[in-house]
Amino acid sequence: MTDQDGVGGERTRSSGQTVTTGPSRDGSADSADATTAGRHGRDTEPDARTAASGTAIAVEGVTKRFETGPDSVLAVDNVSFEVETGSIVGLLGPNGAGKTTLIKSVLGMVVPDEGTVRIRGIDVGDRPRAAYANVGAMLEGARNDYWRLTVRENLRYFATVSGVDPDSVADRHDRLLDRLDLTEWADTPVRKLSRGMKQKVSLASVLAGGAEVVFLDEPTLGLDVESSRTLQRELLRLAREDGLTVFISSHDMDVIETVCDRVLVMSEGRIVADDTVDELLRGAAGGTVVVESPDLDADALAAVRERFPVTAVEELDWGTRLTVEASGDDLYGLMDVLATAGVTPERLRTVEPDLEDVFVGLTREGGR
């Protein structure tokens, strides 16, 4: 499920080009108030250019290289993209692709060598405090909150440090606890909770101050299926009802496929694809067709091979199973070849590529 409101824009599959895709949930290009002051009423006026287009995150030409000389590693290579306010954008990539470095560069935890990052129109290099005033982040592998404090104490503490008087958002905290099924544990020290519960507390504390843009790195790591679904449901609700902008990095394809309006695929430091899940699947290499028949002899196999790439031939007790690279459009051609060769399929099924196949294909190509 992707592209929830069916709105898209220009897209690219190569890095280094500005991308302006992403659904505009408010349906208006200029609905954002360019003069809106931040929570602190100072130094937080969004840049009119980006705010007017409803852009929550604008990354342009970000590059980060670690070390120098022959051991240097180009972790992020001239990456550019934009994220619309209120959308959920996923970041996929194999280990070492540069996802975490990219997220940390956007968050100012890593200083990029080149490029600019604007959050709600504010350049993070010029005015970091103002830019991050309404930003929350839950990073992979980090505890993110204080385990010796209770759940509610964490929410109050992190609301305060994010610039909000916790007494004024007590109702919000109650709702967050309720929606993440944490009410029962509100007064329990976090260290006594399970890993999945801790993960939910971490998310709650990120949202405790009313962040408008959140970055989540592997948010469902360690969660059971039910907890993962609760979290996904809550993310969708927050984006739809409250206009929360979510940038989410995950290896969990189900999460990406379920919640994301758009997906960026990273490989070797570059964005190699940027599209909705539907478009990525549509543009993917064809699927496969699996044919099982007792008539698949050597001549028939040779006839099929002349027209289609055969990826597997497996002998069965009663015949042969043939796996052929062929999309739905090629199916009739394959049937003709089989009929001409005198093969009557006993079983035939098509396997369309899923997001994982697309991801593997894209990252194997490395954008080349």
Residue with Cβ nearer other proteins (212 or 257): 212
Q: How far is the CB of 348 from other proteins (least distance, A)?
A: 52
With contact defined as beta carbons under 8 Å apart, do 89 and 83 qualify? yes
Nearest residue to 41 via CA among 119, 134, 123, 106: 134
Q: How far apart are CA 161 and CA 176, in angstroms?
A: 18
Q: How far apart are CA 181 and CA 176, in angstroms?
A: 8
Residue with Cβ nearer other proteins (80 or 101): 101
Q: How far is the CB of 158 from other proteins (least distance, A)?
A: 7
Residue with Cβ nearer other proteins (96 or 361): 96
Q: How far apart are CA 24 and CA 33, in angstroms?
A: 15
For the chain, what's the residue count?
368
Cα torsion 158, 160, 161, 162: sign: positive
Find residue 266's DSSP bridge partners: 271
Q: How far is the CB of 148 from other proteins (least distance, A)?
A: 6
Q: What is the DSSP string of 93-126?
A: --TTSSHHHHHHHHHTSS--SEEEEEETTEETTT
Residue with Cβ nearer other proteins (121 or 287): 121
Residue with Cβ nearer other proteins (123 or 147): 147
Q: How far is the CB of 167 from other proteins (least distance, A)?
A: 6
Q: Report the interface residues with other proteins, using CB under 8 A.
A: 39-41, 64, 66, 75, 101, 104, 107-111, 128-130, 132-133, 135, 137, 139, 141-149, 153, 156-172, 175, 207, 209-210, 238, 242
Q: How far is the CB of 318 from other proteins (least distance, A)?
A: 57
